[in-house]
Amino acid sequence: MFKIVILLASTAILSIKCQHHEHHVYKDVDFYTNPHYEYKYAVHDEKHHDNHQHKEERYGDKVKGEYSLHDPDGTIRIVKYEADKHNGFNAVVERKGHAVHPQHYKTYKD
């Protein structure tokens, strides 16, 4: 009797498992196509004094881009960069404008 119960239980479990079998669909992924993208954006927020822009493009293993931002001293920092697997990351930083620094005064006696 015990063998019959085990046999019926195993058959029921196998039939339930077979009914809920899902088919997995695998998509072909091309690992050899050169990646290519480009983007650019700019932010000009006068309330929070946030002014910057950025653009970048990539074709294959080479990335090229530049960004600029307004530094607190009043200058504009422009960074132009390139990166690839042979030369690594290279950047050229340029500043435009004249830096203005606030004067500091002593408020105590020596």
User: How high is the pLDDT of residue 64?
Assistant: 97
pTM metric for this prediction: 0.62
Q: Which residues of 54-90 are buried (b: 16+ CB within 10 A; e: fewer)?
A: eeeebeeeebebbbbeeeeeebebeeeeeeeeeeeee
User: How high is the pLDDT of residue 110?
Assistant: 54
Q: What is the DSSP letter of 32?
A: S
User: How high is the pLDDT of residue 30?
Assistant: 78
User: How high is the pLDDT of residue 53?
Assistant: 95
Name residue 48's beta-bridge partners: none
User: How high is the pLDDT of residue 72?
Assistant: 86
Per-run averaged pLDDT (10 residues), the chain, 110 residues: 68 62 73 89 90 94 95 92 96 94 72
